[in-house]
Chains A and B, each alone.
Chain A
């Protein structure tokens, strides 16, 4: 791999080597530019991953078990949290994101949903939603479509084109056929058909056949929360990172934690200040910077990069950096069945239903979503969180329920709208510091009442589905304010008007001509909370435009 010195003026520094940053770095280095990826987490490989529930943290269960290896470590990087701006925020491990080369695509479940056409213009189609900042995107689905296709074909996505009647138009089918249907898929398929819904094979960033020198999935079952030991999950670690390295122009500098983006007297970015693994400070010079740190760390870094020229934080003349923060909302229901499902084997999700994707005014609230069926557990997390609410918590009754249910339980998981509220935000905590002495991230978040209505609606549909599928018992996990958040979106929204947006439709900072923000922070709306596919399509599109601008001399 190529090595650059700090003092070398490279073309681009890409901050964050995750789902978006790795794509941008691969594209830019492939077009002949010198690129340095600065990633705060480690550069792990398939050999570092194991089937070990205590080694890799199961991040969506409480109590959380295991260690924060693939995700941010709250002992080093504490968050503070409050529901509203009038409260004082207190310490709470709230935000979860991938913190390694490959980012969240290393541990994600690999659901790979495109947005629908309506997602880009819900405000003008459905009208205002009082109390929210619901707005249209400055781009359309049609503009993004070629890049969805590019992502699917370059990374390796499995699925069945034309199987979902609600799918937006596509220019090419999926490069790989869908995974074999598991019992949870059959139960969704049969239950949903009875209800008149339209289930279809889940699009997944997992290889069903060998593809581009990578092995097919061997159904080991350790996808969600785990790194794939076969490289069959189409993370950026397994796909574009090796391609970027092969260009000979992209250096991957892991364990490099950026604390400030530096600007010159003209207000242009001239490099970044970062800590290496030993906490020594460096200054990497760059002609342009692309920030791909996720919907929470990107605004935090901009706010930490304030200067005389940018007293509100970098690229923040609109005052909107950190605002309109959106998270992964969804409802969970569980059911048990008479016969064994053995759901712990194979990929998590094999069937999805999107009949309620669109917001429908007849329901009396704004919001929609999709539903999948899966087994959302591993042995320990199941014993702690997977039993019916009235099951004994210890003793013979507990053990018997555990044995009876482990292979007979199915989760129905919905993924729903999270409305953008200006009052939901990422800011710098005025008191708490991280292990590097930098201001801790402060989260302010409270769901809009319509989001709760959406969750309730989907919880009811999920219970109907369990009935139709023949569950012998079913129960809903209570709907309450989120106590943790992944799928971090909003916070540096994209728009045409610099007064109402942080980046333009090409992800260029409205205030800084050689600074780009490419990740979930650009999202104007949340879609239906499966953001990875769209983050990566945006990354391919942004890289295309950045390349064009760089080659015509308008950046570098």
Chain B
């Protein structure tokens, strides 16, 4: 089991750099801190479902094709590498259960629009990237597209324990590091300011 950076640094911070704090302070907080770690680890352990709980494999491929255009792969990983599809499947059987009908209907409409634009295809996943963009551009004002966009962004950047943002690829792409402690200077301008002061 790999702990994520936040948990690891929390532990490191506790053991390494809190020597100035009273043991009473630590004793008071240990149970809470351990509980938080356990919670995160449990969530992490269940972070990659072996099978989809809401989507059929065919549906998952279509949604995955959409997500991979919303946040494409390139020099850096995209929705595909982040496992966004697993995130979306998970939220649709947990806290966003009420969005299930939106996906069921949206997938039907997507198939319809795909066929309308490309009579020889009935699945967006079979199209070339340029064709996929054409279909998505045609539906980008719909509630369904908004919903998939929202879930794709969430799945790319949420805590990995929700099933997406695998290996923190979303966070790494944007330059976000989840830590319990950071040390100043944090950015270019405060670093430069500090140097000029000296």
**How far, in angstroms, from A221 to B6 measured CA to CA in the complex?**
12
Would you call B22 and A395 a contact (CB within 8 A)?
Answer: no
Check A396 for interface membership: any CB of B closer than 8 A.
Answer: yes
A383 within 8 A of B: yes
Residues in A whose Cβ lies below 8 Å from that of B32: 45-48
Please tell me if the beta carbons of B170 and A183 are within 8 angstroms of each other in the complex.
Answer: no
Q: Which residues of A contact B140 (CB under 8 A)?
A: 393-394
Whether A398 pairs with B154 at a CB distance below 8 angstroms is no
- Interface residue tally on A, bucketed by range: 35 or more
Question: Which residues of B lie under 8 Å from residue A382 when comparing CB positions?
Answer: 174
User: Using a CB-CB cutoff of 8 Å, which residues 44-89 of chain B contact chain A?
Assistant: 69-72, 74, 76, 78
Interchain CB contact under 8 A, B162 and A54: yes
Q: CB of B183 within 8 A of chain A?
A: yes
Q: A340-B188, A342-B175, A399-B72 are in contact. Are A215 and B154 (CB under 8 A)?
A: no
Q: Report the Cα distance A45→B162, complex, angstroms.
A: 23
Within 8 A of A (CB), among B99-151: 133, 136, 140, 149-150
Q: In the complex, which residue of chain B has the Cβ closest to the Cβ of A180?
A: B184
Q: Are A346 and B184 in contact (CB under 8 A)?
A: yes
* Closest A residue by C-beta to B95: A67
B143 to chain A, nearest CB (A): 12
Known A341-B187, A384-B150; judge A219-B72 contact (CB<8 A). Answer: no
Nearest A residue to B158, CB-CB: A54
Residues of A within 8 A of B188 (CB): 183, 339-341
A-B interface contact total, Cβ < 8 Å: 154
In the complex, how many angstroms separate the beta carbon of A521 from the nearest chain B beta carbon? 33
**Chain A CB within 8 A of B29 CB:** yes
Interface membership of A186, Cβ < 8 A = yes
Task: Report A-chain residues with C-beta under 8 Å of the C-beta of B72.
Answer: 395-396, 399
Q: Which residue from chain A places its CB closest to the CB of B36 in the assembled complex?
A: A47
**Which chain B residue shows the least CB distance to A400?**
B74
Beyond A46-B29, A399-B71, is A51–B178 a contact (Cβ under 8 Å)?
yes
Q: How far is the CA of A195 from the CA of B7 in the complex (A)?
A: 44
Residues of B contacting A47 in the complex (Cβ-Cβ under 8 angstroms): 29, 31-33, 35-36
Answer yes or no: A379 CB below 8 A from chain B CBs.
Answer: yes
- Is the beta-carbon distance between A180 and B25 smaller than 8 angstroms? no
Q: Is the CB of B36 within 8 A of A396?
A: no
Is A9 in the interface zone, CB < 8 Å from B? no
- Output the least CB separation between A99 and chain B (Å): 19
Q: Is the CB of B159 within 8 A of A403?
A: no
Query: Which residues of A211-225 have CB atoms within 8 Å of chain B's CB atoms?
Result: 213-215, 218-221
Verify if A63 is at the interface (C-beta below 8 Å from B). Answer: yes
Contact assessment for A220 and B187 in the assembled complex, using a CB-CB cutoff below 8 Å: no
**Is A186 a contact partner of B18 (Cβ separation < 8 A)?**
no
* B153 within 8 A of partner (CB): yes
Among B20, B21, B176, B181, contact of A220 (Cβ-Cβ < 8 Å)? B181
> Which of chain B's residues has its CB closest to A230's CB?
B180
Neighbour of A218 across the interface among B13, B31, B74, CB < 8 A: B13
Q: Chain B: interface secondary structure? A: helix
How far apart sit A324 and B7, CA to CA, in the bound complex (Å)? Answer: 47
Chain A residues with CB under 8 A of B190? 180-183, 185-186
Q: Is the CB of A52 within 8 A of B69?
A: no
In contact, A220 and B182 (Cβ under 8 angstroms): yes
Asked if A94 is an interface residue, CB under 8 A from chain B, the answer is: no
What B residues does A46 contact at CB under 8 A? 29, 32
Closest residue on chain A to residue B191 by CB atoms: A183
| A345 engages B186 (CB within 8 Å) | yes
A380 within 8 Å of B (CB atoms): yes
- Say yes or no: A342 contacts B162, CB within 8 Å: no
A73 on the B face (CB < 8 A): no
Say whether A60 faces chain B, with CB atoms less than 8 Å apart: no
State how many angstroms separate the Cβ of A338 from the closest Cβ of chain B: 8
Contact with B along A23-59 (1 / 0, CB 8 A): 0000000000000000000000111101111100000
In the assembled complex, the Cα of A407 lies from the Cα of B175 at a distance in Å of 7
Contact between A53 and B182 (Cβ–Cβ < 8 Å)? Answer: no
Interchain CB contact under 8 A, A395 and B186: no
**Does A187 sit within 8 A of B, measured CB to CB?**
yes
B8 at the interface (CB under 8 A from A): no
Residue A402 CB within 8 A of the other chain:
yes
| Contact B133–A406 (Cβ < 8 Å) | no
A399 touches B187 (CB 8 A): no
Instruction: Tell me if B179 is interfacial: C-beta within 8 Å of chain A.
Output: yes
Q: Are B36 and A218 in contact (CB under 8 A)?
A: no
Q: How far is the CA of A83 from the CA of B150 in the complex (A)?
A: 30
**Which residues 161-177 of B have a CB within 8 angstroms of A?**
162, 170-171, 173-176
B36-A339 in contact (CB<8A): no
What are the residues of chain A within 8 A of B93 when measuring CB–CB? none
Tell me whether A393 and B175 are in contact in the complex, defined as CB-CB below 8 angstroms, given that A53-B159, A215-B25 are known contacts.
no
User: Are A219 and B136 CB-contacts (below 8 A) given A47-B36, A399-B74?
Assistant: no
User: Chain B nearest CB: distance from A291 CB in Å?
Assistant: 31
Question: B71 to A183, Cβ gap below 8 A?
Answer: no
Q: Mark A314-354, 1 if CB is under 8 A from B, else 0.
A: 00000000000000000000000101111111100000000
Please give, as numbers and ranges, the residues of chain A lying within 8 Å of B173 by CB-CB distance.
Answer: 399, 403
Within 8 A of B (CB), among A503-521: none
Taking a contact as CB atoms under 8 Å apart, the answer to whether B154 and A54 are in contact is yes
Asked if A219 meets B184 with Cβ closer than 8 Å, knowing A340-B175, A395-B69, A395-B133, the reply is yes
8 extra interface residue pairs, beta carbon distance < 8 Å, beyond A67-B95, A382-B174, A399-B72 = A54-B158, A213-B25, A220-B181, A394-B71, A403-B173, A403-B174, A406-B174, A407-B187
Going nearest first, the 9 A-B pairs with the smallest beta carbon separation are A47-B32, A339-B188, A183-B187, A183-B189, A218-B181, A345-B182, A379-B157, A406-B174, A341-B187
**Could you give 16 example pairs across A and B, Cβ below 8 Å?**
A46-B29, A50-B159, A51-B6, A54-B159, A54-B162, A186-B192, A213-B25, A215-B18, A219-B181, A219-B184, A337-B189, A341-B186, A346-B184, A379-B176, A394-B69, A399-B76
